[in-house]
Structure 1
Amino acid sequence: MAARESGRIKDANQKRVLDEAARKRRARKAVEALERDNFHDDPHADLVMSKKVPKFQETLESQRGRKKKTKGADYYKQRFRKNFAQLVEEDRGHNPNPPNYWSAQAPPSKRPERHFCAVCGFPSNYTCIPCGARYCSVRCLGTHLDTRCLKWTA
């Protein structure tokens, strides 16, 4: 008679486990992919509305007594906004001497590192064995295994 084998042990032997260097490489690639996806300039920033376009909402009566609108500060904030890299370069040009963004440093924390769930963001006590991601509950572990764990890696 053959001994029964646990499904959990059989699955654990088949799973791929990453070493620390591979985990760091994978995390760095994920951050770089997020930064590539997140960084973009406003594609509509240079659009200029033509004055010849008819405005269908306005009637002749409302145009007679209407005053000329002035553009507020919000318009110029949106029109001439800068991304983070542009702001840092501008600060570097205006303020080359410390203290500035490039010279700011903080000592390492005296408190222990806090760990957060990779799925929901709550504090986590558990780590995924194959990839090293943190999770806080069985529900988040299920979501992680279904959608994130060692999937879509280069």
Structure 2
Amino acid sequence: MSARESGRVKDGGKTRVLDDAARKRRARKAVEALEQDNFHEDPHADLVMSKKIPKFADSNEKPTRKKKARSADYYKMRFRKSFAQLVEEDANFRPEPPNYLSAQAPPSKFPERHFCAICGFLSKYTCIPCGARYCSVRCLGTHLDTRCLKWTA
């Protein structure tokens, strides 16, 4: 009678395994890509409506021109800053401690908790090629199908 063999262990030699430096580089690039996605200008902000568009209002009504009121959200989006800009501004505004750059906390008394990269629950397992955490076979399948080594350069 032969023992059951894990397909993950059996196929482990075929996959690329990253060292810690490559994993950190990959994580840093992913964070930088997310940072770039978060702070793009609105592509539709500069669109000008054509004056040739037909108006479907009653023709006997005289249109009144009203100044368009802009909400606070408009100014929040228009003048928003990246995290790096906010940290630099904080350091210039308050050069003496306490500020963001000088804030420190002692290490935790409790062990580090690891969370699943797919669903966010507590995880027990680590992907061999990329080091991502997962909690179940279902999350491992999702990770292998969609995320594993996707963002490596």
TM-score normalised to the size of structure 1? 0.70
Q: How many Å apart are 1:49 and its aligned residue?
A: 5.8
C-alpha contact (below 8 Å) 1:114/1:123 kept by paired residues: yes
Measured in 1, the distance between the counterparts of 2:15 and 2:50 equals 61
Relative distance call for 1:74 and 1:17 in structure 2 (3 A) is closer
Deviations 1:23-76 (A, max 9, x none): x2232122122123223342348x5565x8427557573623x53233332222
Q: Which has the bigger relative contact order, CA under 8 A and spacing at least 6?
A: 2
Q: Which runs of 5+ in 2 are unaligned?
A: none
CA RMSD of aligned residues (A): 3.5
Residue 110 (structure 2) aligns with: 111
- Which segment drifts farther, 24-33 or 84-93? 24-33
Q: Which secondary structure state, in structure 1, belongs to the residue aligned with residue 63 of structure 2? A: helix
Partner residue of 2:27? 31
* Secondary structure of 1:89 counterpart: helix
When the two structures are aligned, how many residues end up with a matched partner? 147
Give the 3 Å change call, closer, same or farther, for CA 140–87 of structure 1 in structure 2: same
Quote the sequence identity (%): 52
Larger displacement relative to structure 2 (52-61 or 82-91):
52-61
The alignment partner of 2:138 has SS state of helix
Counterpart for residue 42 of structure 1:
40
- 2:63 — aligned with what? 63
Task: Give 1:149 shift.
Answer: 4.2
Compute the displacement of 1:122 (Å): 0.9
Is the radius of gyration larger for structure 1 or structure 2? 1
Contact 2:117–2:132 (8 Å) recurs in 1? yes
Q: How far is the alpha carbon of 1:143 from its aligned partner?
A: 2.5
The correspondence of residues 6-17 of structure 1 with structure 2, limited to 5 A, is 8=6, 11=10, 14-15=13-14
Q: 1:129 to 1:62 in 2, by over 3 A?
A: same
Q: What TM-score results when the alignment is normalised by the length of structure 2?
A: 0.71
Cα distance in 2, alignment partners of residues 67 and 115 from structure 1: 55
